[in-house]
């Protein structure tokens, strides 16, 4: 089984279990509260109905001063007969000494409390207790007739009410079980819908990890968090694929560019074996050539290392005045090239940027201008505003067909191929500008020469 499938199944199971757990808690809580409320209501209604019967009996006893014969009244309309009509009620008449003079449907128990109540002089005295008969549980109430004439016992079965409540309880538990099962199924179905896209993303990540290929298409759907994750993952793979392609091109281009100075060095080294046979002037020319080739090779390697390592990426941005950085870069370029550089600052508003990266980009622009204007005597102009750097030279300029490619890595215009350099300087300037949210530009200078520069945005 694949790891992604296990993750998806596990997540789906957790969703289903979570839904079931929530359903269990909610259903049990609602079921318990509903059952408790229904049970209280039913019991209260039964007690209320029974108490109304008892109170009505007490009222008749007090008002009419019933005796045993009136209570039993053989013509069928006595008090006991009225009490026997409700199917869940039973009644029994006790004599003066507590003996049973007329029993109901079943014999009701007579204890000391009931006998004492039957002997009461005051009518309407009540004793209560719960009794357990063969046919069920009853509430038993004994009401005295007064003057020691006896009492009437009234019983109401409540076990059938408890049976009803037990049945309601079983139905509630059954309903709760069905709700929990339905919630689990709904959670499982919903989890599959939610995690299906996550599983596809997991499969894509596994394929990338196993094959190392980052040029695959990631399935993206939806506008929720999972959809956003898919799009972010797709963009990340796109960036990785682009970085891998850039790295491959860098290696290929670097290999191509390194062949020229290395070939020249090998040739010169081969000539060195016959140095004793060479004229002094040829020897001096050979040494100069070796120095130039080694310097060019060193510069090329340094620029390749700077690009490959991305050394400016970790430099923290700070608030700086671009004119101050331009002055520092101009000082470095003057020392390296021996050319005069005129710096014109039009604005000293601070900008947030990486000082070393910006300084290196300006230095590259100045050295590039000096290289193409080798025989020039006029100063190289460096104009700086708050977020814009512009270098103007009096060299041969840039052909219109080359303007679109002068910032590409290793690109060298046909007119510049005889000049020293690697073709990486302007590409580094472009990388610095892009890392600061800016752009690069190049064009012709009125009166001859070139204008090359960049702008800065937010790093």
pTM reported for the whole predicted model: 0.43
SS3 state of residue 195: helix
Residues 370 and 239: their CA atoms lie apart, in Å, by 36
Look-up of token digits 């512009």: 390
Domain-by-domain residue ranges, the chain?
Answer: 10-63+159-212, 86-157, 214-309, 312-455
Contact at 8 Å (CB) between 336 and 371? no
Choose between 132 and 374: higher pLDDT. Answer: 132
- Kindly tell me if the per-residue pLDDT of 118 is higher than 90: no
Q: What is the pLDDT of residues 399-437, one digit of tens each?
A: 777 777 777 765 555 454 444 444 567 888 888 898 889
Contact at 8 Å (CB) between 187 and 106? no
Choose between 237 and 259: higher pLDDT. Answer: 237
Report the pLDDT value the prediction gives residue 342, as an integer from 0 to 100: 93
Backbone Cα Rg of the chain: 52
Contact at 8 Å (CB) between 93 and 152? yes
Q: What is the pLDDT of residues 276-326, one digit of tens each?
A: 777 888 778 878 777 767 776 776 676 666 656 655 556 788 999 999 999
Count CB neighbours of 215 within 10 A: 12
What mean pLDDT is reported for the chain?
77
Two domains, one topology: 214-309 and 312-455: no
What's the CATH architecture for 214-309?
Orthogonal Bundle (1.10)
**What CATH code would you report for 312-455?**
3.30.565.10
Residues 255 and 442: their CA atoms lie apart, in Å, by 28
Report the pLDDT value the prediction gives residue 66, as an integer from 0 to 100: 65
């Amino acid at each position: 089984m694949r790891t992604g499938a296990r993750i998806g199944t596990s997540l789906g199971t957790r969703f289903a279990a979570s839904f079931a757990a929530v359903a269990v808690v909610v259903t049990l809580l609602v079921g318990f509260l509903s059952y408790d409320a229904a049970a209280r209501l039913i019991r209260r209604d039964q007690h209320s109905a029974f108490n109304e019967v008892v109170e009505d009996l007490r009222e008749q006893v007090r008002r009419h001063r019933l005796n045993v014969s009136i209570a039993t009244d053989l013509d069928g309309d006595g008090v006991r007969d009225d009490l026997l009509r409700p199917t869940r009620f039973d009644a029994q008449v006790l004599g003066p000494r507590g003996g049973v003079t007329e029993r109901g449907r079943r014999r009701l128990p007579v204890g000391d409390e009931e006998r004492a109540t039957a002997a009461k002089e005051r009518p309407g005295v009540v004793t209560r207790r719960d009794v357990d008969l063969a046919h069920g549980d009853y509430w038993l109430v004994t009401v005295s007739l007064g003057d020691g004439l006896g009492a009437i016992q009234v019983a109401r079965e409540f076990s059938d009410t408890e049976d009803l409540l037990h049945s309601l309880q079983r139905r509630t538990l059954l309903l709760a079980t069905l709700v929990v099962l339905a919630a689990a199924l709904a959670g499982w179905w919903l989890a599959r819908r939610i995690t299906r896209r996550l599983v596809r993303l997991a499969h894509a990540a596994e394929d990338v990890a196993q094959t190392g290929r980052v040029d695959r298409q990631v399935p993206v759907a939806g506008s929720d968090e999972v959809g956003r994750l898919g799009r972010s993952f797709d963009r990340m793979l796109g960036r990785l694929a682009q970085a891998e392609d850039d790295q491959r091109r860098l290696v290929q281009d670097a290999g191509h560019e390194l062949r020229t100075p290395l070939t020249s060095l090998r040739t010169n080294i081969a000539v060195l074996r016959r140095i004793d046979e060479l004229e002094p002037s040829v020897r001096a020319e050979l040494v100069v050539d070796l120095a130039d080739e080694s310097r060019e090779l060193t510069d090329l390697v340094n620029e390749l290392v700077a690009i490959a390592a991305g050394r400016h990426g970790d430099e923290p941005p700070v608030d700086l005045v671009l004119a101050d950085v331009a002055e520092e870069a101009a000082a470095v370029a003057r020392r390296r090239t021996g050319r005069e550089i005129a710096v014109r600052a039009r604005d000293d508003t601070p900008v947030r940027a990486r000082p070393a990266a910006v300084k290196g980009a300006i230095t590259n622009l100045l050295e590039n201008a000096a290289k193409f204007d080798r025989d020039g005597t006029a100063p190289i102009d460096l104009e700086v505003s708050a977020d814009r750097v512009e270098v103007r030279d009096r060299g041969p300029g840039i052909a219109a067909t080359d303007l679109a490619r002068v910032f590409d890595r290793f690109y060298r215009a046909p007119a510049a191929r005889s000049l020293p350099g690697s073709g990486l300087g302007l590409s580094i300037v472009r990388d610095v500008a892009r890392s600061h949210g800016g752009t690069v530009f190049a064009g012709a200078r009125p009166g001859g020469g070139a204008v090359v520069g960049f702008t800065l945005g937010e790093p």
